[in-house]
Structure 1
Amino acid sequence: MSAEHDRQQIEQANAGGRVPAVFVHGLWLLPSSWERWAAVFAEAGFAPVLPGWPDDPETVAEAKEHPEAFAGKTVGQVADHFAGLVGGLTRRPVVIGHSFGGLLAQILAGRGLSCATVAIDPAPFQGVLPLPISSLRAAAPVLTNPANYHRAVPLTFDQFRYSFANAVSEEEAKELYETFAVPAPGAPLFQAAVANFNPWSETKVDTEHPDRGPLLLISGEKDHTVPWALTNAAYKKQAHNPGVTEIVEMPGRGHALTIDSGWREVCDTALTFVRRFAGEL
């Protein structure tokens, strides 16, 4: 995703005077995975912004042709990239993120950059201690080879089926894989894996920032990649913040809950939460 494209979105959001809603994707997806959400939020009166990670290709087809574009991206680099984009907005935005995008959303909230935040099945930050077996298995395609730290790593269909699409039919899983799945940088998974042993980890979240604002964490009941234990641990770490902190579990849903056929229920849950505070924005 070009810097020019991101700049145009920021300018467009500023021109309308509406509260921006910034959507942050995670690993193995692109900004286009949020397009249906953006339409719903636009209809609700927000100004949607769908920025990419640095050097994101424009399309899934382009991403599959040039996987090297994803290599070497770290959590700190991407967090600073998004902080810079958000800093260009004239109003503090709502920030909504999924998976590693959910971690990035919490990092931005911890810097006081968002007015309300929704983190969906968020990757764990430093201090989140559970290590569920299913999470380790979901990360295995990357973590089993140390050389993947500097590479972009695609998922096979079977790996995608386990880590993303375990709660949908085989037919839908194949459709999601073809439509949305792209290679991803290995570095963030290595960073998350060793975060609790590295005092300088880039996966830190300032859970006590007084201007963090309201935060909702959403957990998919059947998520293999970020199961309830991880999301709930993140909730408990942040529940003492002066801002509103809530958690909800979506029954029967896996890690693909933002893109699969049940996406609208998750979208509406996020929208209902941020609208509660829209009068204060």
Structure 2
Amino acid sequence: MSTPVVFIHGLWLLESSWDRWATFFAEHGYDPVQPGWPDDPETVAEANAHPEAMANKTVGQVADHFADVISGLSEKPVVIGHSFGGLLAQILAGRGLAAATVAISPAPFRGVLPLPISTLRSSAPVLSNPRNRHRAVPLTFDQFHYAFANAVSEDEAKALYEEHAVPAPGAPLFQAAVANLNPWTEVKVDTDNPDRGPLLIIAGEKDHTVPPNVSSAAYKQQQDNPGVTEYVEVPGRGHALTIDSGWEEVADQALSFVSRELQKVG
């Protein structure tokens, strides 16, 4: 029986952003699962036409949604997440629900302290207006170009924007912004759980939204876990590293880590 791989997207994307990854992992003997966030529209066009469907999704609600998905699988899956999906992947791993985890440019959790200027600028379209907490907020092309696609050509950035960009719920960004001030935050990870399993954190060298020092700080928090914990920084890559023309390089790194770690226990 093939090991399931649950893919978790982040803000401003849909589960279709993982389509090429799902095919890639299926070709290597895994069983891909792309659940999406609760109530996600099926297409980019539908999401942009009805942004209200994306609003009012909190980190805790979405984490519980993916935990429910995992509970229905035949075995403990590999979990791969990008951006806020990378945070959610670590939350699920901290609950002991993952056989192995890959967190790519993961949004920070409580205890991750760096707050670079580029991160603030990337999240400003949401955080600049408190009313956005209960809204779904789209990015303009210029905002997407800075936050996601700064490391690719403008033509590729435009193509990525048209193919993938959707409104995102504001609530998770507001939660993350105050996570280190709120002991009861949902934006927290049990980094000490011995059932966490092996974890790989992947950063992009030129990422504006989650710069390498943020990913590295998450890695340092996770190093106390008895499980295997690794960190890789991919040169020359921005936040769009899972969807841009170099996606397969990142997928290869994720696959190599997952396959190696699962073989150890298989």
- Structure 1 length-normalised TM: 0.94
Quick one: distance in 2 between partners of 1:167 and 1:238?
28
SS in 2 for 1:128: coil
The equivalent of 1:11 in structure 2 is none
| Structural mapping, 1:145-164, within 5 Å | 145-164=129-148
- Residue from 34, 48, 59 that aligns with 2:32: 48
Quick one: distance in 1 between partners of 2:262 and 2:64?
26
Question: Structure 2 counterpart of 1:155, which letter?
Answer: L
The equivalent of 1:170 in structure 2 is 154
User: Is residue 172 of structure 2 the alignment partner of residue 188 of structure 1?
Assistant: yes
- Residue from 91, 114, 118 that aligns with 2:102: 118
Quick one: distance in 2 between partners of 1:110 and 1:144?
31
In structure 2, runs of 5+ residues without a counterpart are none
Quick one: distance in 2 between partners of 1:162 and 1:218?
20
Q: Deviations over 1:62-108 (max 9, x none)?
A: 11111100000000000000001101112100000000000000000
Question: Structure 1 counterpart of 2:137, which letter?
Answer: V
| Structural mapping, 1:170-249, within 5 Å | 170-249=154-233
- Residue from 124, 137, 153 that aligns with 1:140: 124
Question: Structure 1 counterpart of 2:68, which letter?
Answer: G
Q: Deviations over 1:172-210 (max 9, x none)?
A: 000000000000000000000000000100011000000
Question: Structure 2 counterpart of 1:54, which letter?
Answer: P
Give 1:216 shift: 0.1
Give 1:278 shift: 2.5
Give 1:240 shift: 1.4
SS in 2 for 1:103: helix
User: Is residue 264 of structure 2 the alignment partner of residue 264 of structure 1?
Assistant: no
Quick one: distance in 1 between partners of 2:205 and 2:261?
26
Question: Structure 1 counterpart of 2:227, which letter?
Answer: G
Quick one: distance in 1 between partners of 2:204 and 2:213?
11
Q: Deviations over 1:31-60 (max 9, x none)?
A: 000000001100111000001100000000
Aligned-residue CA RMSD (Å): 0.6
Quick one: distance in 2 between partners of 1:51 and 1:272?
23
Question: Structure 2 counterpart of 1:35, which letter?
Answer: D
Give 1:18 shift: 1.1
SS in 2 for 1:276: helix
Quick one: distance in 1 between partners of 2:256 and 2:118?
30
The equivalent of 2:3 in structure 1 is 19
Quick one: distance in 2 between partners of 1:65 and 1:145?
22
| Sequence identity percentage | 75
Quick one: distance in 1 between partners of 2:49 and 2:115?
34
The 8 Å contact of residues 80 and 101 in structure 2, kept in 1 or not, is answered as: yes
Q: Deviations over 1:125-163 (max 9, x none)?
A: 011001100000000000000000000000000000000
SS in 1 for 2:80: strand
Question: Structure 1 counterpart of 2:213, which letter?
Answer: A
Question: Structure 1 counterpart of 2:251, which letter?
Answer: C
Give 1:245 shift: 0.2
| Structural mapping, 1:71-90, within 5 Å | 71-90=55-74
In structure 1, runs of 5+ residues without a counterpart are 1-16
Please identify runs of 4+ aligned residues in structure 1 that moved more than 2 A.
none
Quick one: distance in 2 between partners of 1:37 and 1:276?
18
Report the count of equivalent residues. 265
